Amino acid sequence: MVVERVNSTVRKDELFFHLITLLREGTLNYRWRAAEALGEEGDQRAVGPLIEALSDPHVDVSWIAAKSLGRLGDPEAVPHLISMLDDDDKWQRIGAAEGLGGIADPEAVESLATLLARDPDRLVREKAAWALGEIGGDAAEDALLSAEGDESERVRKSVLKSLEKLKKGK
């Protein structure tokens, strides 16, 4: 029984280090798949390497790394994800919003509120609304209420869904 647990731990460690190697050195296809797998594995040791992957030259890797950081839920990633909200690429901003919603740190509310109010892309605004609903609190609710009249029906639906979630949580 003990030997089986030790072998299982060794295999998990081998897998973890293999995924880190692929994240840092693999082809594009392997890097984004490694970023995704690291989020699914739930190993907190992946936080640092995933933060590094936020600056990968390919958006496919960095936005999935951002989402995986959200799955891991470590607040260490919050300032890095907040800085991604200013990126020119909408997928970077979407990934950052998803990561911040997963972590649910109130520190991100102001930046997400600005994104919801001003971003030109409706998908980004939609994710910002979702993230604010995940974080909650009065400031998040105020930002969502301000966006109830968004020009996009999808954004309005996301806002309403988040507001409903916040009301259930009270």
**What was the pLDDT predicted at 116?**
98
**Mean pLDDT for the stretch of residues 53-74:** 97
In percent, how much of the chain has pLDDT > 70?
A: 94
* Beta-sheet strands, E only, within the chain: none
In percent, how much of the chain has pLDDT > 90?
A: 89
How many CA within 13 A on the CB side of residue 59? Answer: 11
Short-list 115, 76, 70, CA closest to 93: 115
Cα separation, 120 vs 136, whole angstroms:
23
Confidence of residue 6 (pLDDT cuts 50, 70, 90): very low
Contact present, 77 and 51 (Cβ < 8 Å) = yes
**What was the pLDDT predicted at 13?**
87
Short-list 13, 62, 69, CA closest to 40: 69
Treating both helix axes as pointing N-terminal to C-terminal, what angle do 122-135 and 138-146 enclose, rounded to 10 degrees? 150
What lies within 8 Å, CB to CB, of 50 at 6+ separation is 23, 35, 38, 39, 65, 68, 69, 72, 77
**What was the pLDDT predicted at 31?**
96
Confidence of residue 12 (pLDDT cuts 50, 70, 90): confident
Q: If you compute the radius of gyration of the chain from its CA atoms, what whole number of angstroms results?
A: 17
**What was the pLDDT predicted at 8?**
63
Structural domains of the chain in order of their starting residue, each with its CATH number? 1-72 (1.25.10.10), 81-170 (1.25.10.10)
